[in-house]
């Protein structure tokens, strides 16, 4: 593949990113320090909305009925519309300071939210590319529109299936999806054929609202019988535990052993301090199913439904199933992958300074490892072509498996030609047999010297990709022609998979969040209204 010559507009975009790099660094740290988790990214979303308005974008807040989502537009006249997006949700139980030692951010405990991937760098990397594209369009008179969506709750595959179903990705000439590298060989490359698979997530709610019916009513009519008979109703906690254990036992039988798939669960607290003579009235358990195909997700769901029904019947409860996510597997687009990888090749792989290496050596030692001359793995500063990465990725997959792993960018790929690319984030070299704890990657994702190279590289790649789509009609048409061919006619075509989202945004569950009390800002799992 020949490295393309950059246009004058692309050179303007690259210079713009170099000039705002200190801002991108500061902004990345701001979102990192917010550390807000799924559906509760209030400060993070507000920050993006304010920034985009300051940059001249019109912003729809609360897009798709999600309070921490948004959709921003900027136009420079009639022309193609290019899509980009930011994510900014963190993960509970991963609160880590941007430091070379294990410690939570100031004033918080380790159970608070923290950025693991990190989505703090993901969002700002995309934002930098957006702003540079706008600057180049203005300076060179390039016509078109930029659309930037704010995507909350990616960790539970939250917003993109909802945005997709409500039309927020319609009408795009191309969608550019960036993610920090998280597994080899997908480092400094673009996905080729094997895109991410389907994902279903749901909450089973058990409600014991008639415990008096569990045993025969007392004959004396007293409000609380002396025998405390009502408390012997198993109640919602028992139902949840039976559901948990039954599904654990059946996990390996839910699907045949083909390819990579997973199912995990999380018990959501009801926030209820039940009296000692009453059964638990409410308990909730969330499941996340990551599988290559929708059919596999439906098969697992059917088993979970049966388990929930049985657990409810055995414990004197009723159950409800509430969807958190139903996302589709991804659709490849080689033309888009080529455009983005050419952009990444022009930019080059990120490079880490000696300052960053010195910081990484400190982390190596503080995490129980040994400092090395080059503390980072070699792959971080190398490019790998999409085709070569694909060949390595396929080694561990059966030939029949089309999709692997899970991420909800896949919902975008059914509405517009979509590229998915990965830029290296700092990852430490370890002696054989040594495994670094999770805080290490989290910390390196917040320290400016170690995370800035990824953000800068991603911003430049996003900008060059967007400008290629805006300026090169032949490349843009090739991507759309491939999308139409693969879907059997475009959106609504014979091979097109329609949005699976048939539920309202699951924003009212007891998702963990930060609260302000007389004690100050703290991490809590508060009670919430019933969805």
Residue 230: inside a domain: yes
Residues 369, 286 share a domain: no
Would you state the pLDDT for residue 438? 94
Cβ-based neighbours of 364, under 8 Å, separated by 6 or more: 370, 371, 372, 375, 428, 429, 430
Residues 192, 230 share a domain: no
Residue 510: inside a domain: no
Q: Are 404 and 290 in contact (CB under 8 A)?
A: no
Residue 484: inside a domain: no
Residues 253, 223 share a domain: yes
Q: Which one of 472, 490, 507 terminates a domain?
A: 472
Residue 111: inside a domain: yes
Residues 231, 86 share a domain: no
Residues 152, 39 share a domain: yes
Rg (CA), the chain: 25
Residue-by-residue DSSP string for 326-343: EEPPP---HHHHHHHHHH
Q: Are 407 and 211 in contact (CB under 8 A)?
A: no
Report the phi/psi class of residue 348: left, alpha or beta, with left for phi > 0 and alpha for psi in -120 to 50.
Answer: left
Q: Are 201 and 284 in contact (CB under 8 A)?
A: no
CATH number, domain with residue 137: 3.40.630.10
Report the phi/psi class of residue 406: left, alpha or beta, with left for phi > 0 and alpha for psi in -120 to 50.
Answer: beta
Residues 174, 143 share a domain: yes
Cis peptide, bond prior to residue 491, ω within 30 of zero: no
Q: Are 284 and 509 in contact (CB under 8 A)?
A: yes
Would you state the pLDDT for residue 94? 94
Would you state the pLDDT for residue 202? 95
Residue 235, CB-side half-sphere exposure with 13 Å CA sphere = 16
Classify the C-alpha dihedral 334-335-337-341 as positive or negative: positive
pTM: 0.93
Structure tokens belonging to residue 407: 């991420």
Residues 206, 152 share a domain: no
Residues 356, 253 share a domain: no
Residues 370, 221 share a domain: no
Residue 93: inside a domain: yes
Residues 165, 29 share a domain: yes
Residues 250, 217 share a domain: yes
CATH number, domain with residue 220: 3.30.70.360
Buried-exposed string 429-445: b where 16+ CB fall within 10 A, e elsewhere: bbeeeeebeebbbbbbb
Structure tokens belonging to residue 460: 């430049």
Would you state the pLDDT for residue 523? 81
Residue 262: inside a domain: yes
The strand ranges marked E within 191-274 are 198-207, 262-268
Residue 493: inside a domain: no
Q: Which one of 276, 298, 327 terminates a domain?
A: 327
C-beta neighbour count of 140 within 10 angstroms: 18
Q: Which one of 431, 455, 472 terminates a domain?
A: 472
Residue-by-residue DSSP string for 255-317: S-S-SS-EEEEEEEP------TTS---EEEEEEEEEESSHHHHHHHHHHHHHHHHHHHHHTT-
Domain that holds residue 313: 200-327
Residue 477: inside a domain: no
Q: Are 174 and 82 in contact (CB under 8 A)?
A: yes
Question: How many domains is the chain built from?
Answer: 2
Residues 193, 218 share a domain: no
Report phi then psi at 341, rounded to 5. -70, -35
Q: Which of 326, 4, 340 is nearest to 178 (CA)?
A: 340
Would you state the pLDDT for residue 450? 98
pLDDT in tens, the chain (531 residues): 455 679 999 999 999 999 999 999 999 999 999 999 999 999 999 999 999 999 999 999 999 999 999 999 999 999 999 999 999 999 999 999 999 999 999 988 899 999 999 999 999 999 999 999 999 999 999 999 999 999 999 999 999 999 999 999 999 999 999 999 999 999 999 999 999 999 999 999 998 887 777 765 545 555 555 555 555 667 888 898 999 999 888 777 777 666 677 888 888 765 454 555 567 788 899 999 999 999 999 999 999 999 999 999 988 889 999 999 999 999 999 999 999 999 999 999 999 999 999 999 999 999 999 999 999 999 999 999 999 999 999 998 989 899 998 899 999 999 999 999 999 999 999 888 889 999 999 999 999 999 999 999 999 999 999 999 999 999 999 999 999 999 999 999 999 999 999 999 999 998 989 988 777 778 875 443 444
């Amino acid at each position: 593949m020949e490295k393309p010559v950059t246009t004058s507009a692309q050179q303007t975009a690259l210079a713009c990113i170099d000039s705002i790099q200190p801002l991108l660094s500061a902004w990345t740290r701001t979102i990192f320090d917010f550390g807000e988790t799924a559906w509760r990214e209030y400060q993070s979303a507000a920050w993006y909305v304010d920034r985009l308005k300051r940059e001249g974008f019109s912003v729809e807040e609360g897009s798709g009925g999600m309070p921490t989502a948004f959709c921003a537009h900027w136009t420079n006249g009639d022309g193609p519309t290019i899509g980009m997006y930011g994510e900014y949700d963190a993960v509970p139980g991963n609160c880590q300071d941007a430091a070379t030692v294990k410690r939570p951010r100031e004033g918080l405990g380790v159970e608070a939210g923290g950025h693991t991937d990190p989505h703090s760098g993901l969002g700002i990397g995309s934002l930098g590319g957006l702003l540079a594209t706008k600057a180049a369009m203005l300076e060179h008179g390039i016509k078109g529109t930029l659309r930037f969506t704010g995507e909350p709750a990616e960790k539970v595959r939250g917003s993109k299936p909802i945005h997709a179903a409500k039309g927020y990705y319609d009408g795009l000439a191309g969608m550019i999806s960036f993610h920090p590298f998280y597994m080899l060989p997908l480092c400094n490359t673009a996905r080729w054929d094997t895109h991410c698979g389907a994902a279903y997530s749901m909450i089973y709610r058990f409600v014991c609202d008639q415990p008096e019916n569990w045993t025969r009513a007392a004959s004396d009519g007293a409000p609380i019988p002396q025998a405390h008979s009502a408390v012997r109703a198993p109640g919602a906690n028992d139902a949840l535990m039976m559901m948990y254990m039954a599904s654990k036992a059946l996990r390996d039988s839910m699907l045949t052993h083909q390819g990579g798939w997973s199912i995990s669960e999380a018990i959501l607290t009801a926030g209820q301090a039940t009296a000692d003579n009453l059964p638990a009235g409410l308990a909730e358990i969330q499941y996340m199913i990551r599988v290559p195909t929708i059919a596999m997700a439906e098969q697992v769901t059917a088993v979970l439904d049966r388990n929930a029904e049985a657990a409810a019947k055995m414990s004197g409860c009723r159950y409800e199933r509430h969807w958190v996510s139903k996302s589709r597997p991804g659709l490849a687009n080689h033309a888009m992958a080529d455009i983005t990888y050419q952009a990444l090749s022009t930019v080059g792989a990120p490079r880490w300074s000696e300052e960053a290496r010195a910081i990484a050596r400190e982390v190596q030692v503080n995490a129980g490892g040994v400092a090395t001359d080059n503390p980072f793995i070699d792959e971080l500063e190398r490019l790998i072509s999409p085709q070569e990465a694909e060949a390595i990725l396929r080694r561990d997959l059966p030939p029949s498996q089309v999709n692997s792993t899970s991420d909800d960018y896949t919902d975008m790929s059914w509405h517009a030609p979509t590229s998915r690319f990965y830029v290296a984030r700092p990852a430490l070299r370890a002696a054989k047999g040594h495994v670094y704890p999770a805080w290490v990657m989290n910390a390196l994702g917040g320290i400016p010297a170690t995370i800035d190279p990824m953000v800068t590289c991603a911003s430049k790649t996003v900008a060059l990709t967007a400008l290629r789509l805006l300026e090169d009609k032949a490349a843009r048409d090739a991507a759309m022609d491939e999308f139409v061919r693969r879907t059997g006619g475009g959106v609504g075509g014979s091979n097109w998979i329609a949005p699976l989202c048939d539920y309202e945004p699951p924003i009212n569950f007891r998702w963990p969040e930060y609260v302000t009390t007389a004690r100050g800002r703290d991490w809590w799992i508060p009670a919430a209204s019933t969805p």
